[in-house]
Amino acid sequence: MKNKWLLLITIVLAVFLRLYHLNSNPPSLSWDEAAVGWNANTIFHTRRDEYGTRLPLTFKSFGDYKAPVYIYLTAPIVGLFGMNPVSVRLVSVLAGIASVYLLYLLGLELKNKQLGIIAAALLAITPWHVILSRPAFEPNLALFFILSGTYLFLKAIKKPIYFTLCAFSFTLSLYTYHSPKIFVPIFLLGLGFIFRQQLLSNKLRKWLLISVFLGLIALSPLIKETLFSNSAARFQGTSVFYDAKGVIQPLKFSIIMRMLTNYFIHFSPVYLFSGSSIMPRLQLKAVGPLLLIEAPFLLLGLVHLLKNKRKTWAKFLLWWLIAGPVPAMIGKEAPHPLRAYNLLPPLIIITALGIHFLIRSYQKVSSIIIILLAINAAFFINHYFFIYPIYSAPDWQYGYQQTALTARQYEDQVDKIIFTSHYGQPYIFTYFYQNREPLSVFWGAMSKYLFRDIKWDEDKKLTNNLIIGSPEEIPADTPGIMKEILFPDGRTAFRIVNTSL
């Protein structure tokens, strides 16, 4: 009964940290989130993406190609509840909450209920997971499918009928984000070797072969799309194997060293436990991906793991730990919280092992551990909910909602609306926040809008135009400024000028 109450409290905490102020933190939708929302809306109403392609397998977006599962799952939510931040982010939030429960099940399957509850509680409050499970990030949904597939794999060792569900879950992860296309095959090869005796037994072999066959059939459209379509452009743009012009580079020593550096930097204590301002949408300035108090328990858990390295559960966790950062090692940006996201579960479980080992050895320290975790988590929560939204707003394209609604308000009163592209992709925010009908956009309802950089010396001479620009483009002393949109810290984000005034 005690374990059930602890699990319930953990789930409630996970729900609160992922739903609280979801509409306003992150402080705005990013352009990727707006693209997810708009494409989900067009799919729901027209069965086509923003470019008119019917039920695509990949979604073209700003020269990028998005995997389909998140958008298709979001389509009915946006269709029923409208285009708003909560609708767009809800799939990720639900996946994050479910992942907390799945980590409990994994801990239960590997060891016992106590380990499962500790692991789930740690995931519920760990910054890396909280930060990435609130926005509409496809990697968070992919991680849910990977956790589900991993749990079902362990269940299938005892009940082979679960292999089909395991294959289905891993397949969905590959249709959800790009890094699982690298991680999942490597991870499964390792699991196949670790559990080779069980998998080759007569009891499991039939179900395993059926599941592999069904999985390959389900993946055939994705394999074709990845190898022979433009979706491979994403790999060219982000991989160390290609230069800035998209030309493949020979495998030189410098590239190998860069890959090794990219790999090992994800295990750096500086990265894991200290803040960073390099990627404001993915990290906090004052808090690392893991809570600082988790560091000694992670080290203790790793020592305990290595002492038991011959046991199957230890081999399983070690392999997951090794495979986790592999997709990030070939990227141009490292460390990268999204591409290395599959590293998080083994880190959490190993940390839970350290806490579990310490509590079993010294029962009286459990209260001290809870207090220390609560203090560190409280510091993170305060920073994330009350400080982070202020300084991160520009990186979340804050201000587009206000400008898009103002433009719609004056749309019938001006000849043209010139919307700056200074902050990137203004069209997608305009469609989203103005709640446009997809068919009307396809038929030219936005012909009055021009999305481009503001050329103030020329544009100020236009008559009866609404010009929306950045403070770098429109001087503060310009006549006819009808509105300024401010960032939460008081700096000017946009200036709106009516040239007829």
> Cα(354)–Cα(346) distance, rounded to whole angstroms?
12
pLDDT value for 280: 84
pLDDT value for 233: 57
- Residue-wise pLDDT for 204-215, tens only, equals 888 999 999 999
pLDDT value for 244: 66
> Cα(53)–Cα(55) distance, rounded to whole angstroms?
6
C-alpha angle 328-333-336 in degrees, rounded to nearest 5: 50
pLDDT value for 230: 60
> Cα(427)–Cα(432) distance, rounded to whole angstroms?
9
Q: Which residues of the chain have pLDDT under 50?
A: none
pLDDT value for 363: 79
Q: Is the pTM of this model over 0.75?
A: yes
Q: Is the torsion defined by CA of 404, 409, 410, 416 positive or negative?
A: positive
pLDDT value for 361: 84
**CA dihedral of 108, 112, 114, 120, whole degrees rounded to 10:** -20
pLDDT value for 256: 87
> Cα(477)–Cα(161) distance, rounded to whole angstroms?
71
pLDDT value for 332: 78
β-pairing, 492-498 vs 449-451, is unpaired
